[in-house]
Structure 1
Amino acid sequence: MADGKDNNVQTSVLTKKDLRKAYFNWHMWAESGHSFERMQGMALCRAFCDPLKKLYGDDKEGLKRALKRESQLFNTEALIGASVVGATLSMEESMMGEPEDEKDEAITSIKVGLMGPIAGIGDALDWTVFKPIFLGLACDMALKGSWIGALIAVLFVIGLYYEGRFMFNTGYRLGKRTFSKLLGSSIFQQVILLAGALGLFMMGALGASYVSLSTPLEITFSGQDPIVIQEALDSIVPGLLPLAAIFGVRGLMKKTSNFGLICIIMIVICMIGSFIGIF
């Protein structure tokens, strides 16, 4: 017998208070907890600690896996990018009961695939447009001796907080509704595939930006100008050595999960290469 309720609608476990607390922790730690190894990964994990504890309850192993999943490398603009954070939390809630491998793949792909494009929008609006306008006006009025300049600066910071909270809640609502429809459909797998491809593209761009490696080696033939190895490599594939270094580290990570040992191996290789003139 119909009871007037839609059985397909999932009841929310997380309350508005949980969401407010999650965003507050994200806002406080997004930049202050930044690191080169995981970027904002630890801030995201900190923001999700309490919600995940509530979702998993006594399932300690599931909680460990979720916290490990959310502490992986993540980097976006902290305000408009909070929409990605909200959508991720929504997926964590809506995919409870799904196979863990599927959750790992889906949630990680969505995060990595969306963090770059959303960050571009946030950086362009908040820090390239709004910040110079409002703080420029505040500085001008402060230099003229008006207290309104300080007020504008304070209101700007408060406004940023509520902007981020709005985007977080929007991402949570849209993520919950959208992904509940996608679960179990063929579209879901296509979304994962496309997001994963976009994520690989973004990770490649990050690798090219942060990894720098070159060689001073030259090959000299009698009566001819020396051939500079680095110039030859750049003419074939620019950034070939940094790419090789990334794949080398990836190979080491397949052998061992001891990051300290990997760092020591890299340092030794660099020292030997520098000593014999390869690097």
Structure 2
Amino acid sequence: MTTEKKLSKKTLRSVYLRHYQLLGCFNYERQQSSGYAWTMMPAMRELYGDNPAKMKEGVKRHLEFFNCATTPSPFIIGITCAMEEQYASSEEGTFDPASINSVKTALMGPLAAIGDSFFWGTFRVMGAGIAAPLAVQMNALAPFIYFLINFVPSTLVRVYGFKIGYTGGSAFLTRISEDGTLNKLTEAAKILGLVVVGAMISSLVTVNLAAVLNINGAEISLQQIFDDICPQLLPLLLCFACYGLLQKKVSGTLIMVGLIVLGILGVAVGLL
């Protein structure tokens, strides 16, 4: 029988303080993933320190893509801590760890929109708008006013968001696990992700062939031939090629560099 594992207050405090470094190792492949894994490390050590396999699995789990406004992100981190506790305390095969990332994925988009709108687009602008004229007049209250309008609301949302995410998230997750909602949410998040990626392929990926074939004096566009076979066939094939390389564990960064080189060479020889 598995013993219930709970994170100590010291560990939770450490996790919260580390979240301020979410953007410390930002990259364009997985955005805030490194910062998220760093944030979760104290919890990982306490829950899985005696199980190297699960420890490795947990670190890799939190190195998956993550991107959210930093102010509401503690809410997601708090829920993640609660779910990691649940996974560490569950018997083998009774808890799907993929649901942890599914919940993160489902929450990061809506919370990012809220965080950007309120804290980047509202409080920060209001604080700067009021404090800047005072600063020009050499008024010593200017930095304090900016601090009150921008920093204080942000800090309150971070602190209470983390607490609500952890304490309320634990009870919430227990309920949705028992009634099967969590499994449905996990499946819905996967489907939504596939739909979004599919829409991005048709709207954002373009491959236009500039080459023209001259057959007995008649000029035939190579791009037109592919469009007649299937519109947007080349972008689809390019995406499948990139997906195949990712499945073979080729680095996403290396794939991007390869696409840039391919594009330059294609233009240089007149193919693209």
Structure 2 length-normalised TM: 0.80
Residue 139 of structure 1 and its aligned partner are, at CA, apart by 0.9
* CA positional deviation for 1:203: 5.1
Tell me which amino acid in the other structure corresponds to 1:177: A
Measure, in 2, the Cα distance between the counterparts of 1:206 and 1:161: 35
**2:46 is the alignment partner of 1:58:** no
Contact 1:23 1:168 in 2 (8 A): yes
Report the counterpart of residue 151 of structure 2 in structure 1. Answer: 157
Q: Deviations over 1:16-65 (max 9, x none)?
A: 332222121111x2222211111000111000001110011310110010
- Contact 1:74–1:112 (Cα < 8 Å) also in 2: yes
Counterpart selection for 1:116 from 109, 125, 128 = 109
Q: Where does 1:5-24 land on structure 2 (aligned, <5 Å)? A: 13-24=6-17
Aligned to 1:35: 27
Deviation of 1:204 (Å): 5.5
Corresponding position: 1:187 with 2:181: yes
Which residue of structure 2 aligns with residue 48 of structure 1? 40
Pairs within 5 Å for 1:120-159 = 120-155=113-148, 156-159=150-153
Quote the sequence identity (%): 26
Give me the whole-angstrom Cα distance separating, in 1, the residues matched to 2:123 and 2:40: 29
Deviations 1:82-127 (A, max 9, x none): 3122212211111223547953321121112221121111111111
| Whole-Å separation in 1 of the counterparts to 2:35 and 2:199 | 22
- The residue number in structure 2 matching 1:199 is 193
Q: Is the 8 A contact 1:87 1:171 kept in 2?
A: yes
Q: CA RMSD in A?
A: 3.5
Partners of 1:77 and 1:208 in 2: how far apart?
27
CA distance in 2, matches of 1:133, 1:208: 39
Tell me, yes or no, if the aligned pair for 1:22 and 1:51 is still in contact at 8 Å.
yes
Number of residues paired by the alignment?
264
The one of 51, 56, 75 equivalent to 1:83 is 75
Unaligned runs of 5+ in 2: none
Partner of 2:239 in structure 1?
A: 246
**Amino acid corresponding to residue 102 of structure 2 in structure 1:** S
- Go from structure 1 to structure 2 and tell me whether the alpha carbon gap of 1:167 and 1:200 turns closer, same or farther (over 3 Å shift): farther
**Could you tell me whether the CA contact under 8 Å between 1:45 and 1:67 is conserved in 2?**
yes
List alignment gaps of at least 5 residues for structure 1. 1-9
Change in CA separation of 1:193 and 1:11 when aligned onto 2, cut-off 3 Å? same
